[in-house]
Amino acid sequence: MIEQHAKLLTEAGDSLDAIKANFAAIAADARDVLADLKAAVGDDHFGRKFMDGDEGLKTRVAGVIQATKNVSTTSGSYSEGQYQAAKLLSGTDDASGAEISKAV
Averages of pLDDT over runs of 10 residues in the chain (104 residues) are 76 95 93 84 86 85 92 96 91 62 55
Rg (alpha carbons) of the chain, rounded to whole number: 24
Would you state the pLDDT for residue 103? 52
Q: According to the model, what pLDDT value does residue 1 have?
A: 43
**Domain residue ranges in the chain:** 6-103
pLDDT score, position 70: 96
Question: How far is residue 22 from each of residues 10, 28, 34, 57, 102, measured CA to CA in Å?
Answer: 18, 10, 18, 23, 47
